[in-house]
């Protein structure tokens, strides 16, 4: 019998956490979401292991043995965070379904605040702020991630009609109407999902009163690896949904040019008051990030043609 077939009263909120080879991150997230002010019987936590080869699954099992509302789910057939989230959707029993990334943490009244916001405003799709913080050594990549590479959820929702999956809550009714995530994506599936929701006419709300916390990438290499994945996702978006894409081809000179210094400095000045040396170093990271996204898009094109 799978989780969705278990007997008992249905919870109001389901929390879906996809994870792959991250025992430390899933431990921190489960510690955060399992200890909430909201009644335990009113929400469930679905940690979806996406084919981990380390001790991740054992960490989840340990929490599930201690907390009755924490459950281990498995998605071994399709490698990808959207496939893992879709498995969580299939098993979720809550009226509301929230998505959180492994390695994130939330306030102890997070679940209670989500349900209170829904009861007050009656939205179908809700996003809230994510605050990035440096965990451990203050590397150049971590500083760039915190200052310029964060999650401007309010702007995303206002301008593009979506929030990142790390701070997304939807109703079960919405999921039944628009369907699950497109699990072909390696990145940017959250934007495609949000556009489907907006075009279907569902009510989207940004909730400033709720905050989640996300550690920055540990170093420059980890940050650039993420940018390559984003570039791949952008290329997939153009291929899967050209009618929704406002991005151009990666094979343009503009993709190889450095960022405009004036625009970059204005962005940086909004976040901090840097020294000239720090500003130049971060400008270099900004250019490398652009090249990494271009490389990811080109690699996706090449792989598709093989």
Domain identity same for 98 and 227? no
According to the model, what pLDDT value does residue 7 have? 45
From 196, 215, 234, the end of a domain falls on: 215
Do 99 and 198 lie in one domain? The reply is yes
Q: What is the pLDDT along the chain (306 residues), one digit of tens a residue?
A: 466 555 467 899 999 999 999 999 999 999 999 999 999 999 999 999 999 999 999 999 999 999 999 999 999 999 999 999 999 999 999 999 999 999 999 999 999 999 999 999 999 999 999 999 998 888 899 999 999 888 899 999 999 999 999 999 999 999 999 999 999 988 889 999 999 999 999 999 999 999 999 999 888 898 888 899 998 888 888 888 776 555 556 566 777 889 999 999 999 999 889 899 999 999 999 999 999 999 998 888 887 776
Q: Are residues 247 and 284 in the same domain?
A: yes
Q: Is residue 52 domain-shared with residue 200, that is, in the same domain?
A: yes
Examine the domain organization and report whether 209 and 243 are in the same domain: no
Same domain, 203 and 247: no
Residue 158 sits in the same domain as residue 65? yes
* Same domain membership, residue 113 and residue 204: yes
- Inter-residue long-range contacts of 88-91, CB under 8 Å, 24+ positions, other chains counted: 88/14, 88/16, 88/17, 88/18, 88/46, 88/48, 89/16, 89/175, 89/180, 89/181, 90/4, 90/180, 91/2, 91/3, 91/4, 91/46
Angstrom distance (rounded) from CA 192 to CA 206: 18
For residue 110, what is the domain's CATH number?
Answer: 3.90.550.10
Q: How many domains, the chain?
A: 2
Whether residue 29 sits in one domain with residue 55: yes
Who contacts 150 (Cβ-Cβ below 8 Å, separation ≥6)? 130, 131, 132, 214
Would you state the pLDDT for residue 8? 60
Relative to beta strand 96-99, strand 13-19 is: parallel
- 62 and 178 both lie in a single domain: yes
Same domain, 173 and 231: no
Q: Kindly state whether residues 173 and 244 are assigned to the same domain.
A: no
Helix (H, G, I), strand (E, B) or coil at 22: coil
Q: What's the whole-model pTM score?
A: 0.89
Give the per-residue pLDDT at 1: 46
Of 166, 198, 215, the one marking the end of a domain is 215
Which residue matches tokens 């919870």?
11
Q: Which residue range(s) make up the domain with 264?
A: 220-305
| Residue at a domain's end among 215, 250, 281 | 215
Please report which helix (H) or strand (E) contains residue 110, including its range: helix 110-121
């Amino acid at each position: 019998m799978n989780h969705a077939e278990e007997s008992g009263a249905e919870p109001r909120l389901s929390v879906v956490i996809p994870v792959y080879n991250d025992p430390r991150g899933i431990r921190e997230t489960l510690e955060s979401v399992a200890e909430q002010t909201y009644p335990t019987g009113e929400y469930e936590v679905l940690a979806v292991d996406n084919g981990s080869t380390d001790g991740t699954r054992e960490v989840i099992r340990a929490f599930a043995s201690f907390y009755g509302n924490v459950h281990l789910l498995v998605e071994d057939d399709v490698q990808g965070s959207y496939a893992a989230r879709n498995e969580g959707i299939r098993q979720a029993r809550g009226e509301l379904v929230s998505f959180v990334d492994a390695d994130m943490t939330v306030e102890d009244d997070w679940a209670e605040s989500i349900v209170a916001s829904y009861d007050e405003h009656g939205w179908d799709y809700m996003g809230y702020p994510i605050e990035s913080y440096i965990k451990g050594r203050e590397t150049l990549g971590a500083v760039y991630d915190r200052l310029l590479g964060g999650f401007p959820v309010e702007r995303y929702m206002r301008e593009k009609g979506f929030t990142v999956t790390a701070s997304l809550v939807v109703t079960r009714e919405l999921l039944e109407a628009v369907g699950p995530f497109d699990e072909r994506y390696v990145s940017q599936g959250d934007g495609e999902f949000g556009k489907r929701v907006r075009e279907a006419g569902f009510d989207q709300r940004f909730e400033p009163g709720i905050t989640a916390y996300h550690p920055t990438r540990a170093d420059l290499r980890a940050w650039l690896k993420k940018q390559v994945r984003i570039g791949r996702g952008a290329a997939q978006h153009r291929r899967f949904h050209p009618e929704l894409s406002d991005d151009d081809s990666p094979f343009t000179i503009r993709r190889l040019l450095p960022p405009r210094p004036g625009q970059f400095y204005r962005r940086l000045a909004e976040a901090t008051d840097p020294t000239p040396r720090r500003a130049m170093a971060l400008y270099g990271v900004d250019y490398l990030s652009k090249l990494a996204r271009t490389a990811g898009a080109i690699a996706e094109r090449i792989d598709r043609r093989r």
